[in-house]
């Protein structure tokens, strides 16, 4: 009978330990460390989501790896005092917390940080202040900029995720204020209807009528990357980050572009799995990718801890290749051997590497009163099932969705790297959106989404670059490749009213139907890996 012969590890824990910031605000943290030995390096994790987030932090593995662990609530959240201001205070607060840790008798003067999403942003923002003692960061699924790729994509407002995250943070703020003895009845009166019926909230026009979210008016009234966003960008200066950073991304994560850009700017190991923002398991959306596709299967947690200890020996880049459903090590991202290949959008609906002869454009009418619904993709919406690869056949029946499809593939075709669509198109409206979606059509007819993008324009006619970010997808023999083109993806993105004004300024009765034309010299650029 096996005997593990594991000795006990005595621990010391402190709950709600006060940590003073430079302005006198007290932030509170839970401290965990071995009761014997030391001093220890420290893993710091900072969260705006309350105590429940801490249950997902690998505290025991970190302790077993020799770390002390500090789990801190951001200001205005959990047990911490102060007012929560998204992204503004995380750099200096992280800096001050690291200074406090390194001054403790149980600290050896070395701190590392990790986290996912906003928590990873906290780590990168702290790193940008260059605090003495910070040695490494693991940043998982986090944006590189607070305007581009977070609140706006291709110029369109990321309505669904902004509304979802904003209502969550508003609720957490009200709970925090209520615990401090403040009257929060009016605040809950504004926010509860949106929590109960987020679909109705998303259809509100003008968007400026949405209340209850403290920062909402700032987000919607600054569609361009102006001084408001630049001030926030100064809190995440990549050129000031000197510590090594490991990056973890998901092919179906809302912040895939941000994580890839963080990696491009900062270097460090990169891992990309077939995951969404909230799951690193074996399946996403309507597809399963096999047991070995999960983060647990590749021992990602163990590798992250090894990286934080300075002991990582893993590959520079590790990606999951969907379709083949295998992990593959790469020397760099994107793979240099990928060949950018144009597939042209023919007026008869064919998608082909052959350029079309001159032909008339394909036309459709987009009515923003009946937008194309969001079905799958890199999402962060209230419905956790509407994410990742989803069957697009019902969407493709709409008259305002154009489909361009290859012949049946006679052999496997691997697409790994950045993907974009160049659309030559025109509109009758004062402003419009152009959307594109890459789809894997299975032999049984399922049209499974791979990745999508959007661009907003006020130009009546011209060429528009739609960034679909990136993927690693093998389109198998017997499958077909499809590109969908339309003018909305709602509520992932807000509707373009067609008025030349934003949806923050336009009432529902002012929405303008948009008569669209897509010309046959449009194409998608696929990075094809030779086989």
Active-site pick, 96, 253, 400, 494? 253
Distance CA 101, CA 109 (A): 8
Q: What's the residue count for the chain? A: 531
Distance CA 269, CA 146 (A): 23
Asked about 464 being catalytic, the answer comes back as no
Active-site pick, 144, 147, 277, 346? 277
Distance CA 503, CA 154 (A): 15
Asked about 253 being catalytic, the answer comes back as yes
> What b/e sequence results for 12-46 when a residue is b if at least 16 CB atoms lie within 10 Å of its CB, and e otherwise?
eeeeebebebeeebebbbbbbbbeeebebbbbbbb
Asked about 93 being catalytic, the answer comes back as no
Q: Which two tokens stand for residue 116?
A: 């996912």
24, 255, 469 from 250: Cα distances, Å? 39, 8, 12
Looking up tokens 């780590």, which residue turns up? 123
- Beta pairing, strands 339-345 & 447-457: unpaired
The DSSP string of 81-150 is -S---TTTSHHHHHHHHHHHHHTSTTEEEEEEEEEETHHHHHHHHHHTT--TTEEEEEEES--S-STBTT
Active-site pick, 80, 107, 114, 117? 117
Q: Report the catalytic residues.
A: 117, 253, 277
């Amino acid at each position: 009978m096996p005997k593990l012969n594991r000795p006990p590890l005595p621990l010391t824990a402190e709950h709600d330990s006060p940590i003073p910031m430079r302005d006198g605000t007290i932030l509170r943290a839970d401290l965990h460390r071995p009761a014997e030995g030391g001093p220890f390096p420290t893993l710091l994790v900072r969260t705006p989501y309350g105590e429940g987030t801490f249950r997902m932090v690998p505290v025991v593995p970190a302790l077993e790896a020799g770390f002390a662990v500090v789990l801190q609530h951001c200001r205005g959240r959990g047990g911490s005092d102060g007012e929560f201001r998204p992204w503004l205070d995380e750099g200096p607060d992280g800096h001050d917390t690291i200074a406090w840790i390194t001054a403790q008798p149980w600290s050896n003067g070395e701190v590392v940080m990790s986290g996912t999403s906003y928590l990873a942003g906290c780590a990168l923002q702290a790193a940008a202040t260059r605090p003495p003692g910070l040695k490494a960061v693991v940043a998982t699924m986090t944006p590189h900029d607070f305007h581009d790729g977070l609140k706006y994509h291709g110029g369109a407002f990321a309505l669904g995720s902004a509304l979802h995250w904003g209502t969550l943070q508003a609720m957490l703020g009200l709970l925090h204020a209520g615990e401090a003895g403040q009257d929060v009845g009016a605040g809950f009166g504004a926010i509860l209807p949106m929590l109960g019926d987020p679909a109705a909230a998303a259809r509100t026009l003008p968007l400026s009528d949405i209340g209850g979210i403290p920062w909402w008016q700032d987000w919607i009234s600054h569609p361009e990357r102006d001084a408001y966003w630049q001030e926030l960008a100064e809190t995440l200066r990549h050129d000031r980050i000197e510590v090594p950073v490991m990056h973890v991304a998901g092919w179906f994560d809302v912040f895939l572009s941000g994580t890839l850009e963080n990696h491009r700017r900062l270097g460090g190991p990169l891992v990309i799995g077939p995951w969404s923002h909230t799951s690193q398991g074996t399946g996403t959306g309507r597809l399963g990718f096999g047991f070995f596709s999960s983060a647990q299967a590749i021992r990602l947690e163990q590798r992250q801890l090894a990286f934080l200890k300075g002991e990582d020996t893993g590959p520079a880049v590790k990606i999951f290749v969907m379709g083949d459903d295998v992990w593959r090590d790469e020397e760099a991202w994107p793979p240099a051997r990928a060949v950018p290949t144009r597939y042209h959008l023919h007026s008869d609906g064919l998608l082909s590497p052959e350029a079309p002869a001159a032909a008339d454009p394909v036309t459709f009418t987009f009515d923003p009163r009946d937008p194309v619904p969001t079905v799958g993709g890199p999402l962060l919406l209230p419905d956790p099932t509407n994410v990742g690869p989803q069957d697009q056949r019902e969407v493709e029946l709409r008259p305002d969705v154009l489909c361009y499809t290859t012949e049946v593939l006679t052999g496997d075709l691997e697409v790994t790297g950045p993907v974009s669509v160049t659309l030559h198109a025109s509109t009758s409206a004062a402003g419009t959106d152009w959307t594109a979606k890459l789809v894997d059509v299975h032999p049984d007819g399922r049209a499974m989404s791979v990745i999508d993008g959007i661009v907003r324009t006020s130009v009546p006619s011209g060429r528009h670059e739609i960034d679909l970010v990136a993927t690693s997808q093998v389109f198998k023999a017997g499958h077909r490749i499809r590109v969908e083109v339309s003018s909305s993806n709602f509520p992932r993105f807000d509707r373009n009213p067609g008025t030349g004004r934003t949806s923050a300024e336009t009432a529902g009765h002012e929405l303008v139907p948009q008569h669209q034309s897509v010309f046959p010299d449009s194409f998608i650029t696929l990075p094809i890996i030779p086989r």
